[in-house]
Amino acid sequence: MKRLVNPSVTREVVDRFSFHFKKQLGQNFLIDANILNKIVEAAELSEADGALEIGPGIGTLTQALAEQAGVVVAVEKDDRLIPILSETLSDCANVTIRHADVLDTDLHALFEEKFSGRRVSVVANLPYYVTTPIVMKLLEEGLPLRSIVVMVQKEVAERMAASPGGKDYGALTIAVQYYTEPQIVCKVPKTAFMPQPNVESIVIRLKLRESPAVSVQDEELFFKVVKASFAQRRKTILNNLQHGFSLPSGKEAMLEILQRADIDPTRRGETLSLDEYARLADEFALKR
């Protein structure tokens, strides 16, 4: 089987199919064998595992996944890439190519159809313009996932792995860390791609937790409190929550909730830990 990690081979395939990159689809093909190997190693796949790849491009990473996992499903939105993938993956009997937009795909049905109870990891070089919607879909749908190993924009990875108190810490941080344990795998230079993107990249591994990081009475309310707390980062937690929630007694009721949760109303949202947000959400639940 011919690997496609050599830049000249990638260019040859792209030229032979007269493929033109679409900027609006965030198409940047990985051409660095070292980075590819680090992605596959981070996924820790075995013959007993399944791998879901989102946006396989011309199949560079897909081929490597096929050598490690028992079953690989590659979901590609761009119909122009389907005939290319059919050729480059023709020797990979354990790979299924699915022409679809992953955001519109019934992933539970796909998992049941293709993975048959296997442990599944998502491994992908994600289109950067839809990174957050894709990651949140994967996390919120309760899929039987083991891990998510993805290439994302540097700033997004830093937000996912951030600690309370920093500029990178926000609603995305809390959502990702509620469901997973994030670990930065490696930084990726622009030269690892064809064409080269305008941003720096990072490979991050999100290990799914067996249960959420914190226990809350109402998960939907928990995330509503988090979202409201970051509505305007320069404002205090009190001010943001007052704008995000309408309580009968107004400010007085909000101050009581914060006091019962043992949170100083002058703090800002980015200083609160997951545990503090859980306490705060549970106090809101008691007011219902």
Domains of the chain as residue ranges with CATH: 7-208 (3.40.50.150), 219-286 (1.10.8.100)
Compute the average pLDDT of residues 231-241: 93
C-alpha 96: how far from chain center:
22
More confident residue, 19 or 96: 96
The contacts of residue 259 (CB under 8 Å, 6+ apart) are none
pLDDT tens, residue by residue, 165-198: 999 999 999 999 999 999 999 999 999 988 888 8
- In whole angstroms, what is the distance from residue 90 CA to residue 276 CA? 52
Q: Is 55 annotated as a binding residue?
A: yes
Tokens, residue 206: 């999100």
Which strands, in side-by-side order, build the sheet including 119-125?
A: 95-99, 71-76, 49-54, 119-125, 145-153, 201-208, 180-188
Whether the pTM exceeds 0.85: the reply is: yes
- In whole angstroms, what is the distance from residue 181 CA to residue 160 CA? 10
pLDDT of residue 79: 93
Q: Is 145 annotated as a binding residue?
A: no
pLDDT band at 122 (very low <50, low <70, confident <90, very high): very high
pLDDT band at 140 (very low <50, low <70, confident <90, very high): very high
The rounded mean pLDDT for the chain is 92
- In whole angstroms, what is the distance from residue 58 CA to residue 83 CA? 9
pLDDT of residue 19: 83
Compute the average pLDDT of residues 101-114: 96
Q: Is 50 annotated as a binding residue?
A: no
- In whole angstroms, what is the distance from residue 95 CA to residue 76 CA? 13
The contacts of residue 112 (CB under 8 Å, 6+ apart) are none
Q: Is 76 annotated as a binding residue?
A: yes
Q: Is 198 annotated as a binding residue?
A: no
Compute the average pLDDT of residues 219-241: 95
pLDDT band at 48 (very low <50, low <70, confident <90, very high): very high
Compute the average pLDDT of residues 259-272: 96
DSSP 63: H
E strands of 3-107, at which residues? 29-30, 49-54, 71-76, 95-99
Q: Is 30 annotated as a binding residue?
A: yes
91 close to 30: Cβ distance less than 8 angstroms: no
- In whole angstroms, what is the distance from residue 263 CA to residue 249 CA? 19
Tokens, residue 47: 């013959």
E strands of 154-253, at which residues? 180-188, 193-194, 201-208
pLDDT at 214 over 70: yes
Distance in angstroms between the alpha carbons of the first and the last residue of the chain:
61
pLDDT at 41 over 60: yes
Compute the average pLDDT of residues 47-72: 95
Count CA atoms closer than 13 A to 54's CA, side-chain side.
28
pLDDT at 46 over 90: yes
The contacts of residue 137 (CB under 8 Å, 6+ apart) are 102, 103, 107
